[in-house]
Amino acid sequence: MAAKPRVLSGIQPTGGIHIGNYLGAIRNWVAQQDQYDNLFCIVDLHAMTLPYDAQTLRARTLELASVLLAAGIDPARSVLFVQSDVREHTELCWILGTLATVGELRRMTQFKEKSKGNERVGAGILFYPVLQAADILLYDAAYVPVGEDQKQHIELTRDLAIRFNHTFGETFVIPEPDIKPTGARIMSLTNPLKKMSKSDPDPDSRIELRDPPDVIRRKIRRAVTDSETVIRYDEEHKPAISNLLTIYSLFADIPIPELEQRYAGKGYGEFKRDLAEVIIEKLTPLQARLAEYDAHPERVIAILTEGAARARELAAAKMAVVRERCGLGLPRLESLTISPLQTALSSQ
């Protein structure tokens, strides 16, 4: 039987996980566990590129692991681990960084957005896509599930892999981005022109997976809509209702055209009430599983420990090849025709 293609997925532990994370990424990860050889990485090193509190980072890392497990990530079928528990990530990041240019890193859209008007932007923001490349290439990932906004980073990863292979010999698999046609970009409930984000200061802009039913109903009730009251999908002219239709469709597994027919001649109020109940119904079993993990954090830690051991085995093997190709470390004695000592003596 042919080996399954390997997929590396990463997610930052930077706050409450919302339905945009779930519909755009996590739900697809769960569904693809039998299709691919999956590694799911909680990228805590990436979270260090912005100001943070050490205790909060650890708490959020454990929280995110609990959410992923509650959502359906199965440690028997996939590898779930914390990035910083596998030190080969940072080693490979440095090696790839010697092949990257400052110019191409400064052209990254994410760097330009986060550094705009900020002369004291951290170097970690500049190097962020190099660490991301190391995450991917370390495990010979064939595919990387990303949103459209991360496609540029995967292109850099491919460039660095090709550059390394050309310089030192064939070493890395050249990965492909896995961008889903729908659901990969859930927008804010308060501003449908912006992606739903954990960092948005307005909590009404997103529905978090832990939100209780009354909070979900309130947030959907307050979600912005468009001036025209017809419920139809039109991203250009009706971005707000189009976003809500996408959320409804993905949670209920009902095609958007069918929803348009169902709510023809009906108002936003009825549509929103139904949408809130659909979200609550789908999140209730996930929240019940999450409560079980909250009550037994030792189970989550054990899973992460086991996952890190499995990831380190893969990473160590790859880095041994990388070090050899790059000429790092002492040479192997069997590869020498003359010993280092004889070489030193003969030169005197």
Q: Which of 114, 180, 282, 318 is catalytic?
A: 114
- Burial readout 295-320 (b: 16 or more C-beta within 10 A, e: otherwise): eeeeebeebbeebbebbbebbeebbe
Chain center to CA of 175: 15
Sign of the four-CA dihedral 146, 151, 157, 163: positive
Q: Which of 180, 195, 282, 318 is catalytic?
A: 195
87 to 84, 94, 133, 209, 301: CA distances (angstroms): 6, 12, 15, 31, 18
Residue 338 DSSP class: S
Q: With CA atoms as reference, report the closest residue to 110 among 235, 12, 224.
A: 12
Active site (annotated) includes residue 194? no
Neighbours of 70 (CB within 10 A): 22
CA 128/CA 148 separation, integer angstroms = 17
Catalytic residue of the set 180, 198, 282, 318: 198
Q: Is 198 a catalytic residue?
A: yes
CA distance 4 to 33: 10
Whether 114 is catalytic: yes
Residues 6+ positions from 202 with CB-CB distance below 8 Å: 190
Task: Please give the Cα distance from 276 to 271 (Å, whole number).
Answer: 9
How far is Cα 43 from Cα 13, in angstroms, rounded to an integer? 7
Q: Which residues contact 155 (CB under 8 A, 6 or more apart)?
A: none
* Residue in the block written with tokens 């000429």: 327
Q: Side-chain half-sphere of 214: how many Cα atoms within 13 Å?
A: 0
Q: Which residues are catalytic?
A: 114, 195, 198
